[in-house]
Amino acid sequence: MTVIDNEMRSNEELIGRADLNDLEAIFATKSVQEADGLHPVKDNCEAVFTWNYEKGERPALDKLYEKAKRAQWNGNTDLPWETEVDPEAEFMKFRQANPGMSPLDTADLTGTCFAKWGEKEKMQMGIESQNWMLSQFTHGEQGALLCTAKIVETVPWIDAKYYAATQVVDEARHVEVFSRYLETKLGGIYSLNPHLGMLLDDIIADSRWDMTYLGMQIMVEGLALAAFGLMHATTQEPLLKKLLRYVMADEARHVAFGVLSLQDFYKDLNAAEIRERQEFAFEAAVRMRDRMQQQEVFERMGVPVKDAIHLLSQDGGQRDFQILLFSKIVPNCKKLGLLDAADGWLRTKFSEIGVIAFEDFEDTTQDEDVQAEGSPVDRELV
């Protein structure tokens, strides 16, 4: 990822393909599930001790740390796990509340396998889609667990180490509750999407502490926070709704932690270093957008790639959903100065993928959950 000059690198150099919207290329990327269920990644970081134990030298981080200590909750006892979940009934509620949202109801399906589908297959597709989405949340939360543990090691400031330690606990809790919901309420977990997997590997393998922040705290966690919000707004299932709301309360602090930590640091980087971080942010954005095509769902449902591409190419609702997922990322990148540095390179690239309209949304440091006091249980969030 080393940048030698300020020349604008091509999409092919950054992403591996010239056309960012090439669905065939996106579907051609396959995940590899290791036989032993373990995926090692070479972590090139060095652990950094600091002998400056002066707590509060970075007041915003210290304030966030104090809030995090008061905001803990227990995933085992603070959620209503006794709730009975009927995936088919929940899907029907969603369909009734969101008529015409599925492209299976609105697209021209002539000549595809979908033309032969009845309500049973459409329902199964909807259930699998939610299962897939929650599975990717689970994998992303494990990535966040590893990355935040790495931040504790590598960040040079004691206030950041203190806060990151609380986030390690948060991320462990998130992995716990998402995986439990999938195993006990939905019947299993999808494998890691390859596009998300490539991004997580890149973040973990990079030796620089600020790249871990940028990749995980700003990009992956930023998209997750928006995705959790959208799912929370559309689901009526009470256990999932409360689970998502509790996780969102934590995630807002996590993203704010990234913004507060990087804001001053980036002011001291030179043009080449800033361009490298802009390119990494853009690459991360495209990887996360690519994984939203849910190729594993189509594979499980036995849908030929050409039919899946035909459906996705007509799905304006899905494109709108993907764009909305960047509503947290773009304003945070602007807050960090990444949009307009280096002649506005990242602004140009975010405009290219259609997400720049979010630049004037509030950055996550202003989020209600960042400002609030107490745990989601104390605050009676639902």
Averaged over successive runs of 10 residues, the pLDDT of the chain (382 residues) comes to: 58 89 90 88 93 96 97 98 96 84 86 95 94 96 97 97 98 98 94 95 95 96 93 95 98 96 93 94 94 94 95 78 88 95 92 93 93 95 94
pLDDT at 272: 92
Q: Is residue 16 part of a domain?
A: no
Q: Is residue 205 part of a domain?
A: yes
Q: Is residue 11 part of a domain?
A: no
pLDDT at 275: 94
Residue showing tokens 């980036």:
266
pLDDT at 303: 97
Q: Are 1 and 276 within 8 A, CB to CB?
A: yes
Which amino acid is residue 198, in one-letter code?
M
Q: Is residue 267 part of a domain?
A: yes
pLDDT at 319: 73
pLDDT at 2: 44
Distance of CA 345 to the CA centre of its chain: 23
Q: How crowded is the C-beta side of 130, counted as CA atoms within 13 Å? A: 23
pLDDT at 99: 76
pLDDT at 316: 66
Q: Is residue 4 part of a domain?
A: no
pLDDT at 370: 95
Q: Is residue 305 part of a domain?
A: yes
Closest CA to 344 of 278, 263, 262: 278
pLDDT at 1: 46
pLDDT at 4: 41
How many domains is the chain partitioned into structurally? Answer: 1
pLDDT at 7: 63
Q: Is residue 99 part of a domain?
A: no
State the SS3 of the chain: CCCCCCCCCCHHHHHCCCCCCCHHHHHHCCCCCCCCCCCCCCCCCCCCCCCCCCCCCCHHHHHHHHHHHHCCCCCCCCCCCCCCCCHHHHHHHHHHHCCCCCHHHHCCCCCCHHHHCCHHHHHHHHHHHHHHHHHHHHHHHHHHHHHHHHHHHHCCCHHHHHHHHHHHHHHHHHHHHHHHHHHHHHCCCCCCCHHHHHHHHHHHHCCCHHHHHHHHHHHHHHHHHHHHHHHHHHCCCHHHHHHHHHHHHHHHHHHHHHHHHHHHHHCCCCHHHHHHHHHHHHHHHHHHHHHCCCHHHHHHCCCCHHHHHHHHHCCHHHHHHHHHCCCCHHHHHHHCCCCCHHHHHHHHHHHHCCCHHHHHCCCHHHCHHHHCCCCCCCCCCC
* Owning domain of residue 228: 194-382
Q: Is residue 19 part of a domain?
A: no
